[in-house]
Amino acid sequence: MSFPVQRLRRLRRNESLRALVRETTLDPGDLIYPLFLCPGEGIRHAVGSMPGVFNLSVDEAVREAEEAASLGIGGLLLFGLPDTKDEQASGAWKDDGIVQQGLRALKQSSAAGKLVLIADVCLCEYTSHGHCGIVVKSGDSYEVDNDPSLELLARTAASLANAGADIVAPSDMMDGRVAAIRSGLDAVGLTQTPILSYASKFASAFYGPFREAADSAPQFGDRRSYQMDGANIREAMREIKLDLDEGADMILMKPAMPYLDVVRAARERTGVPIGAYQVSGEYSMLQAAFEKGWLDRDRAILESLLGIRRAGADFIVTYFAKDAAKLL
């Protein structure tokens, strides 16, 4: 049977018909809103390359969280800008680190219980050189040393979970970090804290604006010796399998838009919950087009998120979380 018996336009004639046959949904509860915490009080420092994104002191972050909760957003992903950086990334794992302070304050706020608090686990915002692990000299150059970094990542995850993180999310891409974090959490009785691993994280130009927001640009070299090569989808599947074998409860894929095929492939191969991260560059390029009047803001925001859900993501980390929740 084909045309004229088959006419697919019959089910597109009006919004109620379209709504009835819609295959993919988008709900504020599917969205995770990233926040960048900084020391001080009353601070809302605008990030130049990310219109609408701010470095927030803890008190301001609590206000932002309360607004996010009232919009029905699913959770927050927390990053920190420490007041000092060093080679051991001590700001990442010390008890009064900036994200630890933020977590304690958020747990006291009216947003607690409504928002899932996810703490990003990485060292790059806290190391003086801006790399995601410990750096050692090797010949004339420098190398990010995998195994000694694991201990610091595990310490960071336990400290964040103790301060109130509901989920820890390692984004460093060291080999073996999920196992190290799982045993570090279990060793201090945090057996119920889930790990959301950034299982396939590609070395991407689209993280550019984030590095301004989080002040985490590497001082030398780049991240290609630990983040994945953008050409590789089979390797992404190996990363996912290893992280799940090591004990990851959920996986996060990033960036989203240039890697939707990877999200889809992950969806077809695993039964675990999958998140995708619409990263800073994806956000900023859309914002730039909105400023120019080149794209319809509201429609483009929702379409960019719907595409990620359709590819197979259960939830989406996005700087548009508040905007999208208001539109929905």
Active site positions, annotated: 201, 254
Say if CB 250 and CB 273 are below 8 A apart. yes
**Exposure pattern of 113-152 as b/e (b: 16+ CB <10 Å)?**
ebbbbbbbbbbbbbbebbbbbbbeeeeeeeebbbeebbeb
For ligand PBG, give the closer residue by CB, 156 or 171: 171
Residue nearest ligand PBG, CB atom distance: 210
> Closer CB to ligand PBG, residue 120 or residue 239?
120
**CA dist 115 to 108, 143, 211, 258, 309, Å?**
12, 38, 25, 28, 20
Q: With beta carbons less than 8 A apart as the criterion, state whether 133 and 172 touch.
A: yes
The residue (of 33 and 207) whose beta carbon lies closer to ligand PBG is: 207
Nearest approach, Cβ of residue 99 and ligand PBG (Å): 12
Q: Binding residues for ligand PBG, per CB under 6 A? A: 120, 122, 124, 132, 171, 207, 210-211, 223, 279-280
Q: Nearer Cβ to ligand PBG, position 136 or 205?
A: 205
The minimum distance between CB 188 and ligand PBG, in angstroms, equals 24
Measured CA to CA, the distance from residue 271 to residue 276 in angstroms comes to 15
Answer whether 243's CB lies under 8 Å from 197's CB. Answer: yes
* CB closer to ligand PBG out of 58 and 79: 79
Strand partners, 228: 202
Distance of closest approach, residue 121 Cβ to ligand PBG, in angstroms: 9
Please enumerate in sequence order all residues whose Cβ is within 8 A of that of 238, keeping only pairs 6 or more positions apart, or say none. Answer: none
Half-sphere exposure of 122 (CA within 13 A, CB side): 26
